[in-house]
Amino acid sequence: MREMNFTVTSKTITDTAVLYPRGYLNNIAGESLVRECNAYIEKGIKKMVVNLGGIEFINSIGISLLLSVIERLNNCGGTLCLTNISTSYNETFEMLGLTKYMLVFKSEEEALKHLNAAGGK
Amino acid sequence: MPFNSIPAKDFINRERELAYLKLLTEVRDRAIADNILLQGPRGIGKTELLKQFYRTVFWEEKKVLPFYYSFQKATLKASYFAKDYLTRFVRQYLAYVKKNPSFIDSMGTPLVGLMPDFSSLRLDWLINLIEDFQSLLKDGDTYEQILAAISAPVTTARESGMPVIIMLDDFPMAAHLYETNQGDAPGLMSLFEGPMKTSICPHVLTGSPDGLLESIFADNAFRGKAERMFIKELPEDAAQTLFGSLCDKLGVRNDREASLSFVRLLEGNPLYIRNMAKAIWKMNKKEISEKDLWEGYGFEVSEGETAFYWSSVLGEFLADPGLLKVAVDLLMHMTKSGSRSNDFPRLSRVLGIPESSLRSAFDGLKMAGIVQGTGDAGPLRDGVLKDFIQSRYMRDTEGKSPERVRELIGAKYYPVRDAGASFAMTIPMVPDAELVVAKAFEQIGKNIRMDPEVVKQIQLALIESCINAFEHSGSYEKEVFIKVTTSRTRLEIVTESPGKFFDPEKAEEPDIEEKLHAENKRGWGLRLMKKIMDEVKVERMGDNTRVILIKNIASDEVLK
């Protein structure tokens, strides 16, 4: 049941990893997202775009695991961008203060354009 | 036009303010300051108070001349302004002396056409004043023209021996006077300081709190010569009385009980109350039900006079339709997210709007007094303005039809026809069981026509409530009982399970900065529930813990 509720796929575009979590972002799902991000960081990729378009539900544990990704990227001078986020989740992230530590874009293309223009970081 | 005001008997609950302003007419040994600044939000009645004061002085005072001037965007060019200001002053002077208001309205007749009247009244000094001004017009020196126009009431007071009470409506607009291009003469407003320092010409100014005005009134020369009067919203009983009396006058039978929450939403704003009474009258119904009130409200804020009023205010400062749309999107975002920051780079990314457009739109909103001038934008507090913005957003950004917009705004406050419904279920404490409840709530949300985005947020709170029950359960009974109750104005979700009690008041508030570096990054559940819902209560029921989540639908997003 748990596997059915969450999947994460990813790809790299030049020096950026783009991740596509789908389903319910809870503890188990959040951990697999963290693992996926960590694997890229270990390979030296510091720019991450997480496309949340496929996220149906999210809970507070999933949110705390997103914080882990932010912390890890902050420590290595990386950047986390969220894209395709629903209005209500964006509002929730704003309410909790998360948007101060990551960049939110309407689309994946806009995030990639920004990261590309930002250069090294 | 100063006489374009409501009848004095309908001007309720401002008697104290009016009586205080009347003290200005006692120029000698005046107990109050020479200049008064009337402050308060738009629509609260500052202009109306000024007009009522004008009318009182015009008819009741024999030796005090009232002069009313309303700043308009169309006459902010210095040369136009000077001519307009002087013309209106001279006409109002003549109207006062002859006790004939029709002189005020006949703006079509040039000033020279009034010369025979001035001659017959032996007002040689006034004739000289006009002739001097005509020469300045020929010279083309706008600075001298504006100075001459602004000084005309002072000259009149000195020559006639009659004090002139100068009433300047929407005075902050004077900061935007310009010579050739907008912004090329920011100091012209300071020319008003001269007349304001003259005790024979007390000024009454209207305006919203503004840094520019504050700086003028902080000037040493004004200390003791200027004071502020805050015009507050009508108290609830006065607002109800005004609405009731307007309905009576318009022949609309209105149930006071039914209109209580309706009038409360108008927040004691006389402009809104009058507009809404007229909107209901336009529905052409003899008896008005609560549902009719909200339908009328939906029309009024999206297409009626209130919508027209706010469209005019926005249009005045955001003339470009593209920029106006950006402003609406920005306000909508601020309202929905409760965002209090002007972080334009971030807003640009989130909204997909160029930063420069956001800055221009923000400046326009600032000039219109809709957002604060400081770095803190703040969410909109005026519920009616919020609904107007939402209606514009639905129409211009979401492409909804006017009928649909009207219906959605009205339905926000009168959402369902039935008295309410309850849905109950019991779920096992197994992984992801909370999703079953979340999915069920999605359908409940559809049934009561709740905005899907609001449904999504409530689902988040509901999931948290279930997870909380799973984690705190110390019982062998591995079940959670959930009950969702909906009514027209309220949504209540009860989650009950056996387990340890926890006091939400004692729970630690998570700090994002600390959590970011802490090993344990969890602990956001209660914060999420509190942020999303209007009320979160935790009760002990025997061995069970009951968490109650409440959302007031009336103050929420539009129900669809």
Q: What is the mean pLDDT of residues A63-80?
A: 92
Distance CA A11, CA A9 (A): 7
Tokens of A19: 């991740």
Q: What is the mean pLDDT of residues A93-104?
A: 89
Strands B544-552 and B35-39: unpaired
Instruction: Tally C-beta pairs within 8 A across A and B.
Output: 105
Please indicate whether, in this complex, the C-beta atoms of A91 and B338 are within 8 angstroms of each other. yes
Distance CA A58, CA A24 (A): 6
How far does the CA of residue B35 sit from the closest CA of chain A (Å)? 44
DSSP-derived 3-state class of residue B368: coil
Tokens of B381: 């507090």
Please indicate whether, in this complex, the C-beta atoms of A88 and B453 are within 8 angstroms of each other. yes
Please indicate whether, in this complex, the C-beta atoms of A110 and B349 are within 8 angstroms of each other. yes
Q: B118 — alpha (psi -120 to 50), left (phi > 0) or beta?
A: alpha
Q: B409 — alpha (psi -120 to 50), left (phi > 0) or beta?
A: alpha
Please indicate whether, in this complex, the C-beta atoms of A88 and B515 are within 8 angstroms of each other. no
Comparing alpha-carbon positions, the chain B residue that sits nearest to A100 is B346
Residue B482: other Cβ atoms inside 10 A: 24
Amino acid type, B401: S
Contacts of B516 in chain A (CB under 8 A): 67, 70-71, 74, 101
- Cα within 13 Å of Cα(B24), Cβ side: 34
Distance CA B253, CA B277 (A): 11
Tokens of B489: 């104005």
- Exposure letters B226-249 (e unless 16+ CB within 10 A, then b): bebbebebbeeebbbbbbbebbee
Tokens of B460: 């988040």
Domains along chain B? 8-230 (3.40.50.300), 236-288 (no CATH), 306-413 (no CATH), 421-555 (3.30.565.10)
Dihedral angle of Cα B174, B180, B181, B185, to the nearest 10 degrees: -50
How far does the CA of residue B527 sit from the closest CA of chain A (Å)? 8
CB B548 within 8 A of CB B537: yes
The interface predicted TM-score of the complex, written ipTM, equals: 0.91
Helical H runs in B288-320? 290-302, 305-317
Comparing alpha-carbon positions, the chain A residue that sits nearest to B432 is A2
Q: Which of A6, A60, A69 to mutate to test the interface with B (most CBs of B within 10 A)?
A: A60
Contacts of A105 in chain B (CB under 8 A): 349-350, 352
Residue B193: other Cβ atoms inside 10 A: 13
Distance CA B12, CA B15 (A): 7
CB A17 within 8 A of CB A10: yes
Bridge partner residues of B206 (DSSP): B38
How far does the CA of residue B209 sit from the closest CA of chain A (Å)? 28
Distance CA B454, CA B459 (A): 9
Please indicate whether, in this complex, the C-beta atoms of A57 and B527 are within 8 angstroms of each other. no
Residue with tokens 């000195």: B158
Comparing alpha-carbon positions, the chain B residue that sits nearest to A98 is B512
pLDDT band at A17; cut points 50, 70, 90: very high
Residue A38: other Cβ atoms inside 10 A: 13
Comparing alpha-carbon positions, the chain B residue that sits nearest to A97 is B512
What does the pLDDT read at residue A106?
92
Q: Which of A31, A75, A94 to mutate to test the interface with B (most CBs of B within 10 A)?
A: A94
CB B527 within 8 A of CB A96: yes
Helical H runs in B161-235? 193-196, 211-217
Task: Tell me whether residue B548 is exposed, middle or buried, using C-beta atoms within 10 angstroms of its C-beta: 0 to 12, 13 to 18, 19 or more.
Answer: middle
CB B301 within 8 A of CB B275: no
Please indicate whether, in this complex, the C-beta atoms of A59 and B460 are within 8 angstroms of each other. yes
What does the pLDDT read at residue A79?
94
Distance CA B140, CA B347 (A): 46
Distance CA A58, CA B282 (A): 47
Comparing alpha-carbon positions, the chain A residue that sits nearest to B347 is A104
How far does the CA of residue B222 sit from the closest CA of chain A (Å)? 44
Give A2-109's CATH code, choosing from 3.30.750.24, 3.30.360.10, 3.10.450.40, 3.40.50.720: 3.30.750.24
Residue with tokens 């120029």: B27
Distance CA B256, CA B264 (A): 12
Distance CA A14, CA A11 (A): 10
- The answer on pLDDT for A80 being more than 50 is yes
Residue with tokens 């250069």: A119
Kindly provide the residue ranges of all beta strands, DSSP E only, lying in B170-225, ordered along the sequence.
203-206
- Write out chain B's pLDDT in tens, 560 residues: 666 665 656 666 678 888 888 888 876 555 566 788 888 877 888 888 999 999 999 999 888 999 999 998 888 888 899 999 999 999 999 999 988 888 887 767 777 788 888 888 888 888 999 999 989 988 888 889 999 999 999 999 999 889 999 999 988 888 888 888 777 777 788 888 888 888 889 999 987 655 556 666 666 666 666 788 888 888 888 888 888 888 888 888 777 777 777 888 888 888 899 899 888 888 777 777 888 888 889 999 999 999 999 998 888 888 898 999 999 988 888 776 666 566 788 888 878 889 999 989 988 887 777 876 554 544 467 889 989 999 999 998 888 888 888 888 887 777 554 457 888 889 998 888 999 999 999 999 888 888 888 899 999 999 999 998 888 776 667 889 999 988 777 888 999 888 777 777 777 788 888 888 888 888 888 889 988 998 888 877 667 788 989 988 754 444 44
Name which of B349, B456, B464 is nearest A59 (Cβ-Cβ): B464
CB B266 within 8 A of CB B387: no
- The answer on pLDDT for A16 being more than 90 is yes
Q: List the one residue out of A71, A76, A72, A83 whose CA is nearest residue A19.
A: A83
- The answer on pLDDT for A52 being more than 80 is yes
DSSP-derived 3-state class of residue B98: helix
How far does the CA of residue B380 sit from the closest CA of chain A (Å)? 16
Strands B253-254 and B544-552: unpaired
The H helix count followed by the E strand count for chain B is 23, 12
Please indicate whether, in this complex, the C-beta atoms of B463 and A59 are within 8 angstroms of each other. yes
Distance CA B283, CA B538 (A): 46
Tokens of B76: 């902010």
Give the Cα-Cα-Cα angle B515, B519, B525 (nearest 5 degrees). 50
What does the pLDDT read at residue A95?
85
Please indicate whether, in this complex, the C-beta atoms of B454 and A88 are within 8 angstroms of each other. yes
What does the pLDDT read at residue B419?
54
Name which of B337, B432, B456 is nearest A24 (Cβ-Cβ): B432
Element (H, E) at B328: helix B321-337
CB B126 within 8 A of CB B103: no
Name which of A60, A94, A99 is nearest B525 (Cβ-Cβ): A60
Distance CA B534, CA B537 (A): 10
Amino acid type, A13: I
Contacts of B351 in chain A (CB under 8 A): 106
Contacts of A70 in chain B (CB under 8 A): 516
Distance CA A33, CA B288 (A): 57
* Edge-to-edge strand list for the sheet holding B544-552: B421-428, B479-486, B490-498, B544-552, B535-541
Please indicate whether, in this complex, the C-beta atoms of B522 and A101 are within 8 angstroms of each other. no
- Residue spans of the domains in chain A: they are 2-109
User: What residues in chain A have their Cβ under 8 A from chain B's Cβ atoms?
Assistant: 1-2, 5, 24, 26, 28, 57-61, 63-65, 67-68, 70-71, 74, 86-92, 94-101, 103-107, 110, 114
Bridge partner residues of B165 (DSSP): B66
Please indicate whether, in this complex, the C-beta atoms of A99 and B346 are within 8 angstroms of each other. yes
How far does the CA of residue B539 sit from the closest CA of chain A (Å)? 22
Contacts of B523 in chain A (CB under 8 A): 60, 64
Please indicate whether, in this complex, the C-beta atoms of A91 and B434 are within 8 angstroms of each other. no
pLDDT band at A49; cut points 50, 70, 90: very high
Contacts of B282 (CB under 8 A, 6+ apart): B296, B304
Name which of B352, B456, B523 is nearest A110 (Cβ-Cβ): B352
| Phi, psi of B186, rounded to the nearest 5 degrees | -65, -15
DSSP-derived 3-state class of residue B540: strand
Distance CA B462, CA B449 (A): 18
Residue B175: other Cβ atoms inside 10 A: 20
Tokens of B233: 């919203």
User: What residues in chain B have their Cβ under 8 A from chain A's Cβ atoms?
Assistant: 336-339, 346, 349-352, 431-432, 434-435, 438, 453-454, 456-457, 459-460, 463-464, 467, 512, 515-517, 521-525, 527-528, 531-532
Contacts of A24 in chain B (CB under 8 A): 432, 435
